Amino acid sequence: MIDEQPPTVPAAVRILVLCTHNSARSQMAEALLRSYGNGRFLVHSAGTEATRVNPLAVEAMRELGMDISGARSKHLDEFMEQEFEYVITVCDSAAESCPMFPGRAERIHWSFPDPSAAKGSDEERLETFRTVRDDIAQQIHKWVNEARPAR
């Protein structure tokens, strides 16, 4: 009898998404990368200052069928000893203060406005979160469909 080996499964591409507070943009990007990557990505998000996940980010993602209600805001120190293929910053402040990570991480910067700074009624603020969410989704969709993420 021939001893069959299981098919080789390529390792997931490790991605860290950074923002200042890990409360909205990076949380939304993490969920979108997981969804659009169809299992190809192992994604984490963190902030240069951990706070809490913004309830409006949770609501905006729920509208797409993605539940981030159990997510927690994490400080980037939790990931300093890990290797990533990509470190993606989604706000200008995090891009400026992003440390070097071990290994061969390629740094990518996508600048999105902070939806948490939106003013107005709850509905107006939620609309800002939707807009930023959709902009992030569009950028991720474009990036995922390029050949680059398949390292």
- Name the active-site residue from 98, 105, 136, 140: 98
Are 82 and 14 in contact by the 8 Å Cβ rule? The answer is yes
CATH of 13-145, one of 3.40.50.10860, 3.40.50.2300, 1.10.600.10, 3.30.379.10: 3.40.50.2300
What average pLDDT values come out for the chain (151 residues) when binned by 10 residues?
A: 52 91 96 93 94 97 98 94 92 69 82 95 97 98 77 54
Type of residue numbered 139:
Q
Record the tokens describing residue 65, joined without a space: 């069928």
How many Cα atoms sit within 13 Å of 15 on the Cβ side? 29
Q: Where are the domains of the chain?
A: 13-145
- Name the active-site residue from 15, 17, 18, 19: 19
Q: Is 60 exposed, middle or buried (0-12, 13-18, 19+ CB in 10 A)?
A: buried
